[in-house]
Structure 1
Amino acid sequence: MPRMWQSSDRIFLIAIKESFVALIPFIVINSFLSLILALVNVWQPIWEQSQNYIWFSQFSINLHAFFPFLVLLSISIHFAKYLNLSPVALASLSIVTLISLHVHPVSTIEVFYHFSEMLADPRAVIIPILMAYTLQKMAGIEILSFIKTANLSEYLKQHLNLLVPMMISFLIVTLAVFTLSYVVEFLFELSVEELANAGNFGEVFFRVLTTHILWSIGVHGDITFQLFVGTDNGLREIFPHLTITQFMDIFILFGGSGGTMALIIAIFISSKDSSSLNVAKIALPFSFFNINEILIYGLPITFNLKLMIPFVLLPCMNMFIGYFAVSSGLLTFNGQGFAWITPPLLNAYIASDNFAVVAFQAGLIVLNILIYLPFVRRYELINNGSVSENMLENKMQLQTGFARLSELNYSQKQSEELAAGNKLKKTIREVLNGELLLHYQPKISLETNKVTGFEALLRLQMESGKIVGPFFIKEFDDAGYDNLIDNFVIKTVADDLKQWQAEGFYPKVSINLNPNNILEQEMQDSLIGMLGLMADSIEIELLESVFMSDLKRVEECIALLSNHGFSFVLDDFGMGFSSLSLLSKISVNGVKLDRSILQYTSNSKGKTLYKHTCMLCKSLGFSLIAEGVETKEEADFVKLAGVDYIQGWLYAKAMPMLEAKKYAQSINELESPRGND
């Protein structure tokens, strides 16, 4: 359990840290604008009436007001990363929740005011954190994820499955924040009422404690405090010649809220963490003018218990010490005012004309440094236990990488499918504009040197008249149109055989069908219905792959069609890796040897392999057909090896039906095969 808590705690701290670090450029710009305007107020107050000053002033105010909304977005993005949530979904849900807290039954004229009020709402810092953990919990409930199919993009499926968890999370967080806001507001108002009886000490203590707690949870403490109180009474004197604001600037806020000039010095003294040192270096020049947002959000101090403790408690300690010193008469002041950006030590001297006050303030700074030091070392120790942090960050990067690759693969698949779809449409147009044909390549018997049959091969006559091979077969197969092609082949072969038989020509014809289709009852019925009466003239060539997919079904199919008179040939033997073992299991009539093994007969090992393959097939009772025979030397070799039939360009390419018949008749009328002397 402790380890689980440490892991969860580390995820929280890393997400918070990265959320505010991402905003550092914005924070620096904001701090710089505030400093420029404050310096103008001190040194050139006459410029306050100029248009440039007014523009910069309004720009700075609007940036400050917009900051909580930027924090909401940044926290949403970074918590989503570490909690494996959709950043867009989390940010959108947090914004919707924020909007819901500012819905008022008012006229349209006042809506803009409420929108501005919403942007500056300090709850914008808390809402995305609550929403992140709530949404993670809801998204982890299996029953709320109703999309289970694997045919959708993971990205799309993730967001569809977030629909119900998002609605539930919205209700939970909105009600929780609304209730919590009501309770906090009630307690705060009650506390403010009690302050009237608490005196100056109670009032200042409450202000110091409240503003620093607000700062430590990412909210601008001073502005938010004034929103609750309504009016700032910082100009009221609590001691002779010393207002509340001056008291806080001298004894509490040196370097900004939390006495953070002391924290910066403590970091320079003891820290070896490069990240902390870099933030301290950036924050140092601003801390001289009591601007410390860079340090609060950059380390961060916000939501970081290791630094929140001294950040909140040290100002309270300083307040007790300072209040005692002034009230006891140890320190006196002259009533001279100074701007809030006046550097520490200098503001003490201006307000008192007394080095005793300067020394007292310096002593407080030293005391604060000494107290901050162990916390800085502790923070550095934990921060430098960065092996687990790096592992966590690497894990997140890996997780993000997998998600991106998954989505990329899906997108690529979609792109490929789109391209394939476009290509298919183009192919269909070409097929429809052209004409599907069957050409027949002769098979020659090596025993009689006569044409004994043909292999029916699909061709496409393009619109231009050019005849090309069946380049569209794979596309049609992938699109599920393969049965159309098979039906065309069956019907065309049936028509051609009928015509040939009517003319007294009775060749045997081999046909190639989609291996999956032939196992279907519908295709078997088509074969029997259209070719059953001529089944003894039909040879069905089956690829090795169909046997490997479901041998039992294939054998049942062969048995059924064999009973009707069809014969079967194993096509392209020699291309697969399981061919030899397959031969003992199948019930085909013949084996067609692929040209790929014939190509290796140029060397002795290739010739031995081919001969022994032929011997094996013959010993198992198969007739042998050698395809792709292109030279007389190859024809002589396969004949010696025991091949029964050959087909290839040595004799003829595939040709139209009428030419095929003429070719067969011309060859069969000769006393010897073509090419033999």
Structure 2
Amino acid sequence: MAVKDTSSSLFLIAIKESFIALLPFIFVNSLLALVVALVDVWQPSWHGSEAYGWLSQFSRLLFSFFPLLALLSLSFHFAKYLHVSAVVVASLSIGSQIALHIHGSEAIDLSHGFDFLFGDARAIITPILVAYLLQRLMAIKALNLLQSSSLSSYLKLHLNLLIPLILCFFLVTTGIYWVGELLGLVLSPLIDSLAASSPLFQLFVRVLATHLLWCFGVHGDIAYMLVLGVDNGLQPVALNLTLSQFTDLFVLLGGSGATHSLLIALFIASKDKNAVNVAKLALPFALFNINEILIYGLPIIFNPRLILPFVLVPLLNTMIGTLLIVSGWVSFSGNDFPWITPIFLNGYVAGGSLALPLVQLLLVCLGVFVYLPFVRRYSLLVGNKGFERDLIKRVQLQQDIDKISERNYARQQSEDLAANLNLEKTIKEVLNGELLLHYQPKVRLSDRQVVGFEALLRLRNERGQLEGPYFIPAFDQAGYFNLIDTFVIKRVRDDMQAWARQGFRPRVSINLNPNSVLSQDIQSMLIEHWGDIADRVDIEVLESMFVADLNAVEASMAHLRQFGFSFVLDDFGTGFSSISLLSKITIEGVKLDRSILENIKYRKGQVLYRHTCMLCRSLGFNLVAEGVETPEEEAFVASAGVSTVQGWLYAKALPADEARQYALLQGRASQEAGEAEMKREP
């Protein structure tokens, strides 16, 4: 499982870094495209000038090189993380792409730069396939030509690449070719059927197809036109409205993916500083519907966290726009507008009133609500790695530090991703099951009477099986501790009220997350729900709670103590328990962890347990021994001066009704034993 998580994490990291590296190129190219488009709109008289001709050709030719640059960047980054030669991966990928575009005796026309690669999804997929396949082939020792150790490792490495290189080129090129041929056979009848369908159906297909292509790093509109063989953007979908105008007005609000909504969601909810910075950089261009910076910078492509809303929001906008047109709620003036016209302005020009801009505002707000949960989940994977950059600045061994930093970053990304996936899995399991509270009795040794209970969480899973609170660490790490503690507070209150109606009023202890004790909201909830019974509630806390800010914790405890709550130090004896801490904190009791009870089979363990008990009693703390499971352990803790115990020797954690019945039976048995003892006395 760890290997799988690491592989998926490295894949996402390599994809993200590949396109982040292209941001300067995308920025410059988007700026050039914006300048040319603005001249087309506001200064058409400049079209005949030499400067305009040079600028427009430069922008178009420069952009035609983007697929090649993307191929090189992907080759470098995947080679880096998979520990193969970047030059070999790039060379193989370029060679494979050229081979795929050679058609018999027809010569490739290079007069327009690298347009033959433009819009071809294979330019993005090829270097990834090459890098992974080359890594696998290099690991096969039978393919190595040289085994001698007398040659330099660098020379031997590259000579041994000969056979893997040839095999990789053949397998990738032929594999991609035949997959492409198969897709062509499958798509041909579909394209014919699409051409004969209604304009609105073609609209839905176009929106879905172009956005799916964008998710793989391919320019959706151009690739769609290459597959379809014709640009159907001029096809009318309503009176005075073409298909392209429909997408500009209702679908591409900020560019593909309706990324105005994504930008707003990022500014509202993202905790990823890099994502916010990319959003700030993309904002001025998104106003003119240029969003390549956002698509490649976050990235959205190959990003499982953002692909779904990126496709879903435009489809939702298409559906709403179609319904508005069919119902006749919106009309169009027939005024033309270029694709770079900002949102609201294009709506006003196309509709001649404020109706369309209001619809666009509604669509943007709706898109924000769709993007928000995905942006929040995407932010869970983010960690602050700034210390690595500072370290690199201070150390001269730049290359070695880079390698260590990359490995640490990859490992941390893998751990973050695994934790996030585990959290999602755990949340689903909890939602599909039922949270319960069980109560483990605390027994007084002198007469075996139940003097209280500890409330413990349990989960009945969807199969009906009862499980312990394995989910608590994942919830705590994700910051959801307040949800668990809120459930415990309310459920314990309900159970204590039900017991009170039956005349049963035991003492109950609860375990709270350290942050909850400091939370004013949780404190208010404790007082509101338990204010009248607080004198029968013990709050069990851990030593770790006092480490960060002892004064703040003591102040919070003192506030709650005014209402009758008591505090008990839980799990004393685990980890690095500090005896000096006992002299600094104000608590009413101490619970001795079973881990130190297990060591009483050794003489030193017995001495440690007895002296710990003596120390706690001398400081005035009530003692509870946890984890008593055998009569021998019971006899020992009694001899050490412990008067209250809990453990499986007496009972496991029980449902509320069973816990009450157990306490009543123990009380009755204790009373009968006392009466029998009195009868035996002369």
Length-normalised TM-score, structure 1: 0.56
- In the superposition, relative to structure 1, how do residues 108 and 14 fare at CA in structure 2: closer, same or farther (>3 Å)? closer
- In the superposition, relative to structure 1, how do residues 242 and 111 fare at CA in structure 2: closer, same or farther (>3 Å)? closer
- In the superposition, relative to structure 1, how do residues 187 and 316 fare at CA in structure 2: closer, same or farther (>3 Å)? farther
Q: CA–CA distance in 2 between the matches of 1:35 and 1:115?
A: 22
- In the superposition, relative to structure 1, how do residues 65 and 401 fare at CA in structure 2: closer, same or farther (>3 Å)? closer
Partner AA of 1:100 in structure 2: A
Q: Secondary structure at the match of 2:101?
A: coil
Aligned residue-pair number: 399
- In the superposition, relative to structure 1, how do residues 114 and 372 fare at CA in structure 2: closer, same or farther (>3 Å)? closer
Q: Which residue of 1 aligns with 2:497?
A: none
Q: Secondary structure at the match of 1:238?
A: strand
Partner AA of 2:339 in structure 1: W
Deviation at 1:339, TM superposition (A): 0.9
**2:308 aligned with 1:309, yes or no?**
yes
Q: CA–CA distance in 2 between the matches of 1:261 and 1:13?
A: 24
Q: Return 5+ residue gaps in structure 2 as ranges.
A: 393-398, 408-682
Q: CA–CA distance in 2 between the matches of 1:337 and 1:42?
A: 11
- In the superposition, relative to structure 1, how do residues 396 and 155 fare at CA in structure 2: closer, same or farther (>3 Å)? farther
Deviation at 1:279, TM superposition (A): 0.3
Q: Return 5+ residue gaps in structure 1 as ranges.
A: 403-677
Q: Secondary structure at the match of 1:117?
A: coil
Partner AA of 2:190 in structure 1: S
- In the superposition, relative to structure 1, how do residues 86 and 388 fare at CA in structure 2: closer, same or farther (>3 Å)? farther
Deviation at 1:20, TM superposition (A): 0.5
**Identical columns (%):** 48
Post-superposition Cα deviations, 1:585-620, rounded to whole Å, max 9, x if no partner, equal xxxxxxxxxxxxxxxxxxxxxxxxxxxxxxxxxxxx
Post-superposition Cα deviations, 1:549-607, rounded to whole Å, max 9, x if no partner, equal xxxxxxxxxxxxxxxxxxxxxxxxxxxxxxxxxxxxxxxxxxxxxxxxxxxxxxxxxxx
After alignment, is 271-280 or 147-156 more displaced?
147-156
Q: CA–CA distance in 2 between the matches of 1:401 and 1:179?
A: 37
Q: Which residue of 2 aligns with 1:548?
A: none
Q: Which residue of 2 aligns with 1:153?
A: 152
Q: CA–CA distance in 1 between the matches of 2:120 and 2:328?
A: 42
Q: Which residue of 1 aligns with 2:87?
A: 88
Post-superposition Cα deviations, 1:498-518, rounded to whole Å, max 9, x if no partner, equal xxxxxxxxxxxxxxxxxxxxx
Length-normalised TM-score, structure 2: 0.56
1:397 equivalent among 391, 399, 402 = 402
Q: CA RMSD in A?
A: 2.6
Q: Which residue of 1 aligns with 2:22?
A: 23
Deviation at 1:138, TM superposition (A): 0.9
Q: Which residue of 2 aligns with 1:142?
A: 141
Deviation at 1:196, TM superposition (A): 3.1
Q: Which residue of 2 aligns with 1:3?
A: 2
The answer to whether the 8 Å contact 2:333/2:352 transfers is: yes
Q: Which residue of 2 aligns with 1:384?
A: 383
- In the superposition, relative to structure 1, how do residues 387 and 150 fare at CA in structure 2: closer, same or farther (>3 Å)? farther
Q: CA–CA distance in 1 between the matches of 2:406 and 2:169?
A: 29
Q: CA–CA distance in 1 between the matches of 2:400 and 2:237?
A: 55
Post-superposition Cα deviations, 1:510-567, rounded to whole Å, max 9, x if no partner, equal xxxxxxxxxxxxxxxxxxxxxxxxxxxxxxxxxxxxxxxxxxxxxxxxxxxxxxxxxx
Deviation at 1:370, TM superposition (A): 0.9
The answer to whether the 8 Å contact 1:102/1:114 transfers is: no
Q: Which runs of 4+ in 1 moved over 6 A?
A: 385-390, 393-396, 399-402
> Equivalent residues in 2 for 1:325-474 (5 A)?
325-384=324-383, 397-398=402-403
Q: CA–CA distance in 1 between the matches of 2:239 and 2:400?
A: 60
Q: Secondary structure at the match of 2:116?
A: helix
Partner AA of 1:398 in structure 2: K
Deviation at 1:141, TM superposition (A): 1.2
Partner AA of 1:14 in structure 2: I
Deviation at 1:354, TM superposition (A): 2.3
- Whichever of the two has the greater Rg, that structure is 1
Q: Which residue of 1 aligns with 2:239?
A: 240
Q: CA–CA distance in 1 between the matches of 2:384 and 2:178?
A: 38
- In the superposition, relative to structure 1, how do residues 153 and 103 fare at CA in structure 2: closer, same or farther (>3 Å)? same
Q: CA–CA distance in 2 between the matches of 1:151 and 1:199?
A: 71
Q: CA–CA distance in 2 between the matches of 1:371 and 1:395?
A: 44
Q: CA–CA distance in 2 between the matches of 1:355 and 1:17?
A: 40
Deviation at 1:131, TM superposition (A): 0.8
Deviation at 1:229, TM superposition (A): 2.1
After alignment, is 179-188 or 141-150 more displaced?
179-188
The answer to whether the 8 Å contact 1:82/1:396 transfers is: no
Q: CA–CA distance in 1 between the matches of 2:114 and 2:41?
A: 33
Q: CA–CA distance in 2 between the matches of 1:105 and 1:118?
A: 18
Q: CA–CA distance in 1 between the matches of 2:370 and 2:112?
A: 44
- In the superposition, relative to structure 1, how do residues 197 and 134 fare at CA in structure 2: closer, same or farther (>3 Å)? same
Q: CA–CA distance in 1 between the matches of 2:49 and 2:175?
A: 46
Partner AA of 2:80 in structure 1: K
Q: Which residue of 2 aligns with 1:174?
A: 173
**2:59 aligned with 1:60, yes or no?**
yes
> Equivalent residues in 2 for 1:561-572 (5 A)?
none
Q: CA–CA distance in 1 between the matches of 2:400 and 2:321?
A: 49
The answer to whether the 8 Å contact 1:279/1:295 transfers is: yes
Q: Secondary structure at the match of 2:382?
A: helix
Q: CA–CA distance in 2 between the matches of 1:107 and 1:176?
A: 22
Q: CA–CA distance in 1 between the matches of 2:232 and 2:366?
A: 29
Q: Secondary structure at the match of 1:219?
A: coil
Post-superposition Cα deviations, 1:85-126, rounded to whole Å, max 9, x if no partner, equal 000011011111111112233366857679651466442111
Q: CA–CA distance in 2 between the matches of 1:119 and 1:154?
A: 39
Q: Which residue of 2 aligns with 1:165?
A: 164
